[in-house]
Amino acid sequence: MTVEIEAVTRDFGTAATPALRGVSMTLRQGEFVALLGPSGSGKTTLLRILAGLDFPDAGRVLIGGRDVAQVPARARNVGVVFQNYALFRHLTVFENVAFGLRVRPRAKRPDNAEIARRVQELLALVQIPELESRYPEQISGGQRQRVALARALAIEPQLLLLDEPFGALDALVRKEVRRWVRGLHDRLGITSILVTHDQEEAMEMADRVAVMEEGRIVQFDAPHSLLDAPASAFVASFVGDANRLTGSVNGGRLGIEGLGAFDADGLPDGRTDVFVRPDEVRVVPPREGLTPGIVEWSRQADRGRWKILVAVSEHRLEGYAEQPIERGAPCAVELQAMTVFGAQGERVSLSGRLAANSAMPGV
């Protein structure tokens, strides 16, 4: 089912800026999309509007080509899974899953035999058929999440909304359940939207990620594009690990206090925000011609690599070394690539020609 959001605005009148400011996005049939952003960015408000639990002040919401912006939740055929599961404690697992079917209008309500067949089918799909007679407090958090998902699927929704669904799970179970949910999505082919503030979750699960900031979608892209070509300094800082530095451009040269100067053709003179991913910082033993530093901590990241925090002048840079270097030992850093945003938001990616420690006035 396709989803089209057109210039949606929502203003609760309780903040300096509206919760949503002209949000537009289009989802393809069967796509898994994540809404990613910090608290207050508008992602949950947007999900509630999609679910029919809230309504926009302006704009259109089309699900399968039908404008549902002012249609109540019960008439949308949208499944929602909440962070706290919202299971009924006094109902068994079976009855929790059956609930959405039992409360349908009489003319559309399946008979008891069909409800039982559908519930048992769903419990088998989410791999917990043996739990049908238990109550929510008698099962684990991961199992409750599966019950909540089965309940959302029971109404055969055209759109599945997941609102921070893994936040109550411990780290190991969370990773297992989210991979399982993505696999289930692929098998069923339902268009799905995940709301999360966890970038690892969004990057692992979604086909595309909509990054939200202050009520707007600032970039809607494939996960790798968010890392390789961030649209703004906010996206560069929020998505993925990055060392954030401040520099200034003068005559095509970018100067970073304590790190030197670099060629920066294409950037106008003025202040810049500089982002260097840890993978782009190479840490080596002291070497002439490279920026010197002191190791603050070191840990093995994977086979053959150590992640290291280096103190360089007033900066703290995370990078990688191909051999262990002890805490407090001298070292050198080599910046292999960086993404630079000028004062007007211009982005320039520098790589392969970085010439650290080149002379520049004021550096």
State the DSSP code for 254. E
- Six token digits for residue 126: 């989410």
The dihedral built from the CA positions of residue 109, 111, 116 and 121, taken in this order, carries a sign that is negative
Question: Do the Cβ atoms of 34 and 197 come closer than 8 Å?
Answer: no
Q: Residue type at 156?
A: E
Helix, coil or strand: residue 76: coil
**Which CATH topology does 3-233 take?**
Rossmann fold (3.40.50)
Q: pLDDT of 266-299, one tens digit each?
A: 788 899 999 999 999 999 999 988 899 999 999 9
Q: 22 pLDDT exceeds 80? A: yes
Helix, coil or strand: residue 266: coil
Look-up of token digits 């039908």:
66
Ranges in the chain annotated CATH 3.40.50.300:
3-233
Tell me whether residue 33 is exposed, middle or buried, using C-beta atoms within 10 angstroms of its C-beta: 0 to 12, 13 to 18, 19 or more. Answer: buried
Confidence of residue 260 (pLDDT cuts 50, 70, 90): confident
- Nearest partner of 9 among 49, 55, 53, 58, judged by Cα: 58
- Six token digits for residue 276: 């260097």
Q: What is the overall mean pLDDT for the chain?
A: 91
Look-up of token digits 């211009």:
346
CB atoms within 10 A of CB 336: 16
Q: What percent of the chain has pLDDT over 90?
A: 73
Q: pLDDT of 103-125, one tens digit each?
A: 988 888 999 999 999 999 999 99
Query: Can you count the helices (H) and strands (E) in the chain?
Result: 8, 21
